[in-house]
């Protein structure tokens, strides 16, 4: 027992390092079809994805709203096993890439 304690101390404690960032987040980048605002919506890998039969591995259904004209958008997106979007349907708007989203942000 004493040996184990010594070992643990030597190894620098027992608490594992906290995971940095937001490892469960997958971001959907959207553009409002009414006012053109680009924004993003967080999808939680653990809570928002469901496994269903279809073009991809996981399906996510989300409602999203921009903060300019408050147009409600219905998003349905399929992800593959690597959380890449393989198919999507968006009402009143479109899915855009992270690059397009970043380009649309005021600097």
What is the smallest separation between the CB atom of 5 and Zn ion, expressed in angstroms?
60
> Could you tell me the sign of the dihedral formed by the alpha carbons of 78, 93, 101, 103, in that order?
positive
Q: How many degrees, rounded to 5, is the angle at CA 49 between CA 43 and CA 53?
A: 140
Among 66, 73, 77, 79, binds Zn ion (CB under 5 A): 66
What is the smallest separation between the CB atom of 76 and Zn ion, expressed in angstroms?
19
What is the smallest separation between the CB atom of 72 and Zn ion, expressed in angstroms?
10
Nearer to Zn ion, 32 or 96 (CB): 32
- Helices (H) and strands (E) counted in the chain, each on its own, are 2, 7
Per CB under 5 A, residues contacting Zn ion are 32, 34-35, 37, 66, 68-69, 71
């Amino acid at each position: 027992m004493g040996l184990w304690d010594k070992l643990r101390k030597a190894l620098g404690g027992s608490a594992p390092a906290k995971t940095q960032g937001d490892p469960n987040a997958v971001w959907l980048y959207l553009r409002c079809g009414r006012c053109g605002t680009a924004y993003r919506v967080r999808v939680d890998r653990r809570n928002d994805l469901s496994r269903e039969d279809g073009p991809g591995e996981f399906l996510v259904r989300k409602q999203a709203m921009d903060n300019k004209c408050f147009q409600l958008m219905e998003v349905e997106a399929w992800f593959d096993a690597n959380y890449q979007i393989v198919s999507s349907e968006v009402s009143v708007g479109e899915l855009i890439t992270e690059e397009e989203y970043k380009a649309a942000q005021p600097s």
